[in-house]
Amino acid sequence: MAFPIKVCIVCKEEFELKPDEPGFASRCPECSTPESMELTAKRCMDADERKTVTEANEARSQAMREPLYRKDSNAGVLQRAEHEERAALPGIRL
């Protein structure tokens, strides 16, 4: 069975478009390698950078956690006032 002949949009070379092969339909196998598989040097962090990142993550987590678990002394008063306002409106049952 003959496979369709395509022209790569990157390098303008002809290639056979075969099923079950990874890559893009408009690029040849050499040009359609995923970016993650290309040679990319993973940046190494030293101890100071790791510590800074860890501290930033902890601060971010704490900033998100505080509003969730904070005991607000006015919260009960505000909720009670909202409840009383809704109870005063006609036609609304609580």
CB distance 37 to 18 below 8 Å = no
Domain positions in the chain: 1-32
Per-residue pLDDT, averaged over 34-51, amounts to 70
Tokens of 67: 């509003």
Higher pLDDT, 17 or 37: 17
Predicted confidence (pLDDT) per residue in 52-70, tens digit: 999 999 999 988 888 777 6
